[in-house]
Amino acid sequence: MNKKILSIFLIGVLLFASSVATAQSVKWKTYKNEKYNFSMKYPDDWNKNEISGDMYVAVTFSGPKTENIVVSISIIETEGPDNLTEKIITKNFSIGGITQKQIITVKNGRMYVITLIANREAFEEANDTYFKEMIKSFLIE
């Protein structure tokens, strides 16, 4: 019985070490938006696309096409509350073969919506390798 527990423990440690090594091997760039006062890290081998108008900006970071991973940030000027005291975080939800999660906050009359998207099978790995670091690095100045 002890050998079985030890084996399970060792497998868990190896899986954790593997995911940490993968996350540490990612090279990061920092995107900064002066107009809407926010920044976020993203993998340096991802594509970035930005669309803006008078009252909004939408920035999309997309991983290699074979990985089917996308992170989008939308900022919309609102007439609603100036600030939310807490971030709204949706649970992971799937539509077809795609899983996504959203994080929403309002600060200084602007709504910030971060959407994290990946194939259902790849979502957890994308979350551990990319999404957690990107969310952690998101800063509203």
pLDDT of residue 58: 96
Amino acid at 8: I
Q: CATH second-level architecture of 27-140?
A: 3-Layer(aba) Sandwich (3.40)
The mean predicted confidence, pLDDT, of the chain is 84
Q: Which two tokens stand for residue 4?
A: 């079985």
Q: Which two tokens stand for residue 51?
A: 């669309």
Show Cβ contacts of residue 69 under 8 Å, excluding neighbours closer than 6 positions.
62, 63, 117, 118, 122, 126, 130
Which range in 9-18, 85-94, 104-113 is most confidently predicted, on average pLDDT?
104-113
CA distance 53 to 35: 11
pLDDT of residue 9: 47
Residue 12: pLDDT over 70? no
Express each pLDDT in 67-97 by its tens digit.
Answer: 889 999 999 988 777 777 778 888 899 998 9
Three-state secondary structure call for residue 110? strand
CA distance 27 to 31: 13
pTM surpassing 0.85? no
Residue 72's beta-bridge partner residues? 60, 115
CA distances from 13 to 40, 53, 58, 61, 125 (A): 30, 48, 39, 31, 16
pLDDT of residue 24: 59
> For the chain, what are the domain ranges?
27-140
The better pLDDT of the pair 102, 15 is held by: 102
